[in-house]
Every structure is written in C-alpha cells, then in structure tokens.
Amino acid sequence: MRRKTLFGIALMAVLSLVLAACGGGGDDKGKEKAKEGGKDYGVKFVSIATGGTGGTYYPLGGNFANLIKDATGIESNAVTSGASAENMALIQKEEVEVAFTQTDIATYATEGTNMFKEKVDNLKGLGTLYPETIQIVTTEKSGIKSVEDLKGKTVSVGESGSGTLANAEQILEAYGMTLDDVKARNLSFDDSTTGIQDGTIDAAFITAGTPTGAVEGLAATEKVVIVPLEDDKIDALIEKYPYYAKETIKEGTYNAKSDINTVAVQAMLVVRSDLSDDLVYDMTKAIYENTDKIGHAKGEQISAENALNGMAIDIHPGAKKYFDEKGISAENK
C-alpha cells in the first residue's frame, strides 16, 4: 500500500513537471511579449549602425535607440561604423537591424553600382531625416580658398567605402579633377580635423549635418574655412546626380562671416527587409512622433511630413503603413 502511495505521488510529481514545462514556455513568452508592448516582434535586440563618434549619426543613433526601446521594450543601441556604405554591408550581412546612410548610397546599394559590386537585396527604407551637407573643411592658414586649390594638397576624402568618398570623387569630377590630383587620405571625421589641426593634412571632405561636432571642435582652436562651390558647378552636379540639392551653410556656422554655397544629400534610415511590419511601424512612429525628445540640434529638421523626400528606394511595408495613416506619400512611391 505504501509503495502504491509513493508511486502515485511520484507520478503526480512527474506530471506536474511536464505540465509546468509545457506551460512555462508560454508564461516566459507571455512575459517577453508584455515587455515588448504586448507584441511578438521576432527580435530581442535592435542594433543601429551609425558612423564615427565625431559625426552626426552616432549621437542621433543613441537618441533613436532610446526612443525605440521606450516604445517597444526591445533593448536597442547605437554602434559605431564607417558610416553609409559600410552600413549597407552590415545590413546585407544581417549584423544590424537599422542603419543610417545617405540617399545616394542607398540607391547605389540597391542597384549594385558605384562601390557596390552586387546588389544589397535585403534593404528597405524607413524614412529620410535631414540634409547631409558636403563640407570641404580647411583653415585660413592653409591658403586654400577654392576646390582647384586642393590640387597637390593632402586631403582626407572620407573613409574607404564611405558616402563621403563618393561625394569627394563627384565634386572633384565636376572641377575636372580626380583623386589622383590630390594626396588622398582615408580618415574619419575626428582624425580629419585632428590632422588639419596638427598640420598632417591640409583639408578634408566631411559629409554630415551641420554643425558637425568634429568641425566645431576644430573651429574652437583654428580659423576654419569651408570651401564654397560655384553655382555652375552645383548645377552640373545636380544635373548629373539628381540626389544632390543646393545647400547653404549659414553665416555664423563655425564662425563663418558669410553664407557658404555647397550641396547636400539626405540622411536616411534603412532597415532589413525581414523585420516584421509591426516592429518597423512602431520604430517609425517612435522616431517621427517624438522628435521633440531628440537631444540633438538635428531633431528640429526631422519630421514625418518630410520623411519621404528624396526616398529613392522601396519603403518597408511597416514604415509605409505609418506614413499612409498620416496621409504622407512620395511622388515615386
């Protein structure tokens, strides 16, 4: 009798463990869903590929990561990188979920042109952000006043594979020059401004939202000069490369005594195409409906109303759903 009782108790214990195991997974999943705002997004972490610490992408990425985490409950962070072109490779390898890039670089990536030997076929747009100004940075003591003056000089043209490098090549081309006409160095924004300051380089191409932190730091100790582009060269650039737009760096920026004419492309966010519609919708909403919480000057230029301007690649269905609900559309989408 005692044996039967013990056997019954043991059998009940085993059944309890089996039931707990079956139900426990559901409870854990339920807790995970609750943490993620009640939705199963299919990912437990969101990494945002940005750029170097001296640019605009990195601090903005940190702000976006916080907004995404607050809205979805998913752990999110910003990671440094070589910026635009490298970020497309990170998306292709599925090493990140979200990435900053320039609209021109996103176009090259989806087409498999320029620096891309093959198409990045898992790339979709989330939204555009603000103008990325092409700044040719030097100092008064360098004597460089025009693009032609760069000939023979040591010039940082952006990191290998970066959007800045493509911009440098195209601007030099507009002036009948190539990278062979300068002593090209492939440096980050921080290393570029440090090089200008210590005299190891003469000038640097920097494509970033203005004011750019690295250039502001240089302007604190040196008389910074931003080399202007002539109107006819700007028109020629825009005619050949329609993703460019005329841009003016306002008087007072980096202590400039007058406005400076140049060109810009749009900064944008892209996502992996395999991310769920719900996740991309909630990320898009979190960013564009909380621009007042973006702790960076560029937050003032980011808006849902302008988020499809310059969007030259396909939009992720989750982002499209958000913009459709807001009544926002792009002419080519």
* Span 2-36, pLDDT tens digits: 444 444 444 444 334 333 333 333 334 333 433 44
**Residue 233 confidence class, pLDDT cut points 50, 70, 90:** very high
State yes or no: pLDDT of 101 exceeds 70: yes
The percent of residues above 90 in pLDDT, for the chain, comes to 74
**Which H/E stretch holds residue 225?**
strand 224-226
Q: What is the DSSP letter of 121?
A: T
Mean pLDDT, rounded, for 187-202: 96
The yes-or-no answer to whether 45-130+267-325 and 132-265 have a common fold is yes
| pLDDT value for 332 | 39
Domain locations in the chain as residue ranges = 45-130+267-325, 132-265
Say if residue 177's pLDDT is above 90.
Answer: yes
Beta strands in 80-153 (DSSP E): 98-102, 123-139
The larger pLDDT score, comparing residue 10 to residue 250, is at 250
Characterize 82-113 residue by residue with b for buried, 16 or more Cβ atoms within 10 angstroms of its Cβ, and e for exposed: bbbbbbbbbbbeeebbbbbbbbbbbbbbbeee
Mean pLDDT, to the nearest integer, of 168-197? 97
For 308-324, the pLDDT digits (tens) are: 988 889 999 999 999 99
What distance in Å separates the CA atoms of residue 132 and residue 244, rounded to the nearest whole number?
A: 10
pLDDT band at residue 330, thresholds of 50, 70 and 90?
A: low
CA 72 to chain centroid: 20
Level-2 CATH architecture, domain 45-130+267-325: 3-Layer(aba) Sandwich (3.40)
**Alpha helix segments (H runs only) across the chain:** 2-35, 57-72, 84-92, 103-111, 163-174, 189-198, 213-219, 231-240, 277-288, 317-325
Where is pLDDT greater, at 213 or 30? Answer: 213
| Average pLDDT over every residue of 224-243 | 94
% of the chain with per-residue pLDDT over 70: 87
User: Out of 20-24, 46-50, 206-210, which region has the weakest mean confidence (pLDDT)?
Assistant: 20-24
The string of pLDDT tens digits covering residues 103-162 is 999 999 999 998 899 999 999 999 999 999 999 999 999 999 999 999 999 999 998 878
Overall pTM > 0.75:
no
Fold classification of 132-265 is D-Maltodextrin-Binding Protein; domain 2 (3.40.190)
